[in-house]
Amino acid sequence: MLRLTQAGAIPVTCGAVLPELMKDWRRKEAGDFAKLLAEMVPNFQAIIEQYYKAQEVTKSEK
């Protein structure tokens, strides 16, 4: 890591890189990315759970 920073690289976390790779959460592989992100960033699991609960509520109100 030291060699990278000495060369000017700026280290980032997977929590920053994965959403950038996804770019658009409407893509068909978004669910797979979300699972991976939840494994790497535990707090993201709570976001996923709240999203799915909101979707259930929306569907039940229709």
Domain boundaries, the chain: 2-61
**Which position has the token pair 């990315």?**
33
* Cβ–Cβ < 8 Å for 45, 38: yes
**Average pLDDT of 36-49?**
85
Cα–Cα distance measured from residue 23 to residue 57, given in angstroms and rounded to the nearest whole number: 26
**Is the per-residue pLDDT at 54 higher than 90?**
yes
Q: What pLDDT, on a 0 to 100 scale, did the predictor assign at position 23?
A: 81
Residue 31: band (very low, low, confident or very high) from pLDDT cuts 50, 70, 90? confident
